[in-house]
């Protein structure tokens, strides 16, 4: 039984998500999104047409459970979709990733009233409705580093009144549902997610997103002014003293999908460079730059990094990397993705930094991989602490007693 007390249907014997026809669809969508990505980047506009196309093919409900009409995609299948979309337009892929993670996580929780998730899922299947978590605040920054939210949900006879301000609300121009991280006004506050419909009175959007990269994500500021929601919309809350529940499998999903976004950016940058080297033929050379060993070596280095990324993501999906290694997967894949684009910029010179070429946009986009939770310092510090803790534990373990001379003689 699922958390919503409904038994999911068994998966089909052969999923349409694994067919050559579906792979061709992804390639088509990737090319379409790439054609408009530069314009959306220049003016910071939200790529609404991309989401209409995704909904047309049922892809906004990719990770919605089948019992609710979704496609119930596996992590491997979802990674393929995100990789293809990111190759064309990573801003679209980031909003899509948030949608997929929300629908992957929500059915697992036992706190949501069943009919509320059923409504959210039905909206995604029928209308292509998007959902995302709104967590970051001006005073606190990222909640992953601790602290209580300044956004407050006050108890009222009708339910809750929510007031507060959220930053970096990815996808807000098209979101239908918001899971708002807040605290209650109780003496011992409840902390967690309140489900809010985007059209609820009292919500306003300040179009403040003017970023270096991922400019088409519409990650604007959102203000909640005494927003009323029913009592049951406190869908995932617990006392502030309760340790957070971390779902290891969800952390793995997040690391793989975020890694797939920026690996997709790096692959687009690599392909731009290869084409440019093949077509760039200086007069003094009399041949393309692709004929020179120096440039061949660089492309070989890029392909080695991308090969490493593919192996890491494949291993994570195949269960060959434990859930505890999820953050390391994200760190390694995104670090190597940045290295790919930086090397392409270095070797191409001025053309690579020209606004008329895609490479400088890929560079700005790939740098944004560093801002996603968990951030690099958190990943590495946690890894270092774990190493020292393991060493200390090994030192206090009882050692086998030395054999006596009689035993040795025997």
Q: State pLDDT tens for residues 261-282.
A: 999 999 999 999 999 999 999 9
State how far the Cα of 295 lies from the Cα of 83, in Å rounded to an integer: 26
pLDDT at 134: 98
Q: Any idea of the CA torsion for 140, 145, 147, 152, to the nearest 10 degrees?
A: 60
pLDDT at 322: 74
pLDDT at 403: 52
pLDDT at 245: 75
Do the strands 203-206 and 220-229 form a parallel or antiparallel pair, or are they unpaired? antiparallel
DSSP letter for 243, please: P
Cis check: omega of the bond before 222, within 30 degrees of 0: no
Rg (CA), the chain: 24
pLDDT at 12: 41
pLDDT one-digit tens code per residue, 208-258: 999 999 999 999 999 999 999 999 999 999 999 888 777 888 999 999 999
pLDDT at 145: 64
Query: Which residue stretches of the chain have pLDDT < 50?
Result: 1-14, 404-410
pLDDT at 10: 45
């Amino acid at each position: 039984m699922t958390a919503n007390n409904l038994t999911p249907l068994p998966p089909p014997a052969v999923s349409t998500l694994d067919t050559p026809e579906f792979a061709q669809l992804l390639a088509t969508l990737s090319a379409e999104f790439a054609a408009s990505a530069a314009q959306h980047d220049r003016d910071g506009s939200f790529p609404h047409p991309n989401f209409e196309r995704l909904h047309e093919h049922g892809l906004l409900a990719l990770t919605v459970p089948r019992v609710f009409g979704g496609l119930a995609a596996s992590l491997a299948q979802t990674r393929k979709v995100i990789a293809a979309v990111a190759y064309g337009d990573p801003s679209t892929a980031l909003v899509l990733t948030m949608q997929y993670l929300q629908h992957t996580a929500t059915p697992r929780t036992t706190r949501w009233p069943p009919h509320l998730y059923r409504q959210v899922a039905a909206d995604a299947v029928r209308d292509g409705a998007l959902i995302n978590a709104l967590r970051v605040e001006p005073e606190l920054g990222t909640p992953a580093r601790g602290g209580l939210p300044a956004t407050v949900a006050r108890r009222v006879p009708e339910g809750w009144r929510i007031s507060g301000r959220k930053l970096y609300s990815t996808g807000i121009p098209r979101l239908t549902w918001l899971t708002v991280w807040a605290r209650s006004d109780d003496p011992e506050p409840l902390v967690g997610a309140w489900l809010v419909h985007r059209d609820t009175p009292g919500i306003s959007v300040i179009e403040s997103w003017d970023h270096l990269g991922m400019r088409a994500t519409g990650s604007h500021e959102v203000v909640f002014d005494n927003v009323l929601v029913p009592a049951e919309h406190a869908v995932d809350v617990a006392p502030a003293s309760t340790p957070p529940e971390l779902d290891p499998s969800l952390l793995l999903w997040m690391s793989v999908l975020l890694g797939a976004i920026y690996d997709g950016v790096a692959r687009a940058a690599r392909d731009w460079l290869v084409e440019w080297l093949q077509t760039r033929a200086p007069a003094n050379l009399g041949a393309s730059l692709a004929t020179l060993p120096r440039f061949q070596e660089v492309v070989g280095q890029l392909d080695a990094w991308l090969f490493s990324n593919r192996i890491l993501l494949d291993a994570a999906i195949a269960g060959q990397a434990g859930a505890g290694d999820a953050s390391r997967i994200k760190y390694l894949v995104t670090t190597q993705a940045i290295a790919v684009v930086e090397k392409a910029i270095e070797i191409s010179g001025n053309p690579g930094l020209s606004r008329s070429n895609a490479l400088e946009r890929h560079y700005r986009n790939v740098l944004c991989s560093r801002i996603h939770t968990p951030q690099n310092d958190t990943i590495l510090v946690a890894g270092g602490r774990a190493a020292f803790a393991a060493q200390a534990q090994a030192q206090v373990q009882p050692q086998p007693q030395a054999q006596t001379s009689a035993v040795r003689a025997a």
